[in-house]
């Protein structure tokens, strides 16, 4: 028997095609009169911000902030907060991936303003009350109910043109949230169902998107799976895989989704025997006769994602330091954390070898 305590916190969620048009109604619902649109400084994201400004109406948009960058540096937040206050904003709309949602969360927790998140990747941050912030090069994570967005608007149309180099690592990033939920020490039956459904949806959707990147049903499955993944991440503790990725991203500056992609099969291999029940459920969910870590490694090969930490720019001499950091931190994980075994895992991931 598994005992558990569970309290669900899932934002109001709108999912479909063309749902971007509903952002204006959601803003009104939250009694916001002057929202700050948050996005990134590139043509695609700016065009999206202008489209949303037209939907909401110029009078209800106080300004556009394009400063969102990965890992939510505190100086960027401080500047954005000063700007938001100077234009008398009273609400936040984030338009983009995890980096953009992260900046809006950082502002929401400092102001208490409502936040409508419009995600355009599969990172899953929009469904969590968790915020990672970087101060003086050190990334720390905190959780607060005020960090959880009030509403998520998922519009499948916004993902149709996502390029392969973003789609596949971002999809594997979402898979990782579901996988680690399934062997979490704080798992409960609801999240187990959510995690397995996320894995099934994302795994098959990514395979379809390889040949048909604009297939609406596959895009909907990938985005719906990403929502499930975010719900998993929000409700149960993650293990070794997330710790390693946090270390590699935070201390060595590796890119977020790509790092998750390279590490996932290896972290699953490390935990395989200690979490055999969860692994077998994953194998059943994706219909694989291979062991789950091999099945995911093969999936990544087929999708053409990065396969090694070497190609992400990690220096070989940093592996020992990464193993030290990951083995020193205390967190629940199915297999005991052993520095030498972690170093072997990292060496295999660095070389791009198949998982153990």
Which stretches of the chain bind ligand NAD, using CB under 6 A? 40, 42, 44-45, 70-71, 96-100, 102, 120-121, 123-125, 128, 130-132, 158-159, 162-163, 166, 170, 233, 256-257
Q: Which is nearer to ligand NAD, 102 or 355 (CB)?
A: 102
Q: Which is nearer to ligand NAD, 262 or 279 (CB)?
A: 262
Q: How far is the CB of 130 from ligand NAD (least distance, A)?
A: 4
Q: How far is the CB of 115 from ligand NAD (least distance, A)?
A: 13
Q: Which is nearer to ligand NAD, 105 or 291 (CB)?
A: 105
Q: How far is the CB of 274 from ligand NAD (least distance, A)?
A: 25
**Residues near 19 by Cβ (< 8 Å), separated by ≥ 6?**
153, 154, 155
Q: How far is the CB of 58 from ligand NAD (least distance, A)?
A: 24
Closest residue to ligand NAD, Cβ-based? 98
Q: Which is nearer to ligand NAD, 166 or 207 (CB)?
A: 166
Token readout for 30 is 């939250």
**Residues near 194 by Cβ (< 8 Å), separated by ≥ 6?**
178, 181, 228, 231, 232
Token readout for 235 is 């409700």
Place of tokens 């290896």: 266
Q: How far is the CB of 85 from ligand NAD (least distance, A)?
A: 24
Q: Which is nearer to ligand NAD, 154 or 272 (CB)?
A: 154
Q: Which is nearer to ligand NAD, 71 or 204 (CB)?
A: 71
Q: How far is the CB of 231 from ligand NAD (least distance, A)?
A: 11
Q: How far is the CB of 165 from ligand NAD (least distance, A)?
A: 9
CA 13/CA 290 separation, integer angstroms: 35
* Opening angle at CA 158, ends 157 and 161, nearest 5: 90
Q: Indicate the SS3 state at residue 4.
A: coil
CA 268/CA 175 separation, integer angstroms: 12
Contact status, residue 188 vs residue 6, Cβ threshold 8 Å: yes
CA 218/CA 52 separation, integer angstroms: 25
CA 37/CA 52 separation, integer angstroms: 8
Q: How far is the CB of 260 from ligand NAD (least distance, A)?
A: 9
Element containing residue 115 per DSSP (H, E): strand 115-119
Q: Which is nearer to ligand NAD, 125 or 327 (CB)?
A: 125
Give the DSSP letter string of 296-325. Answer: HHHHHHHHT----TTTTT--GGGHHHHHHH
Cα 154 → chain centroid: 14
Q: Which is nearer to ligand NAD, 205 or 279 (CB)?
A: 205
């Amino acid at each position: 028997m598994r005992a558990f305590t569970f309290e669900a916190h899932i934002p109001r969620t709108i999912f479909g095609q063309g749902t971007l048009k509903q952002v204006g109604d959601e803003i009104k619902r939250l009694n916001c009169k002057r929202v700050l649109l948050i996005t990134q400084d590139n043509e695609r994201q700016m065009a999206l911000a202008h489209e949303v400004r037209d939907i909401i109406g110029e009078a209800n948009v106080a300004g556009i902030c394009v400063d969102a960058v990965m890992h939510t540096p505190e100086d960027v937040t401080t500047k954005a907060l000063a700007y938001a206050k100077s234009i008398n904003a009273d609400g936040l709309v984030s338009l983009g991936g995890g980096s953009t949602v992260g900046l809006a969360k950082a502002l929401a927790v400092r102001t208490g303003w409502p936040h409508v998140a419009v995600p355009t990747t599969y990172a899953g941050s929009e469904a969590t009350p968790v915020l990672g912030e970087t101060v003086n090069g050190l990334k720390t994570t905190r959780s607060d109910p005020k960090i959880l967005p009030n509403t998520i608007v998922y519009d499948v149309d916004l993902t149709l043109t996502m390029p392969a180099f973003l789609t596949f690592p971002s999809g594997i990033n979402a898979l990782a949230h579901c996988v680690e939920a399934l062997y979490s020490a704080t798992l409960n039956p609801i999240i187990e169902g959510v995690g397995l459904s996320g894995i099934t949806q994302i795994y098959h959707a990514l395979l379809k998107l390889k040949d048909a990147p604009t297939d609406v049903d596959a895009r909907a499955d990938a985005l719906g799976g990403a929502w499930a993944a975010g719900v998993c991440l929000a409700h149960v503790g993650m293990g070794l895989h997330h710790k390693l990725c946090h270390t590699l991203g935070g201390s060595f500056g590796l890119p977020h989704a790509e790092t998750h992609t390279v590490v996932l099969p290896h972290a699953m291999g490390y935990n395989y025997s200690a979490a055999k029940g969860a692994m077998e459920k994953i194998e059943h969910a994706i219909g694989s006769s291979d062991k789950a870590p091999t099945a995911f490694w093969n999936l990544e090969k087929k999708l053409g994602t990065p396969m090694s930490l070497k190609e992400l720019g990690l220096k070989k001499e940093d592996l020992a330091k990464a193993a030290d950091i990951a083995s020193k931190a205390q967190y629940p994980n199915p297999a005991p954390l052993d520095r030498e075994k972690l170093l072997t895992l990292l060496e295999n991931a660095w070389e791009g070898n198949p998982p153990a």
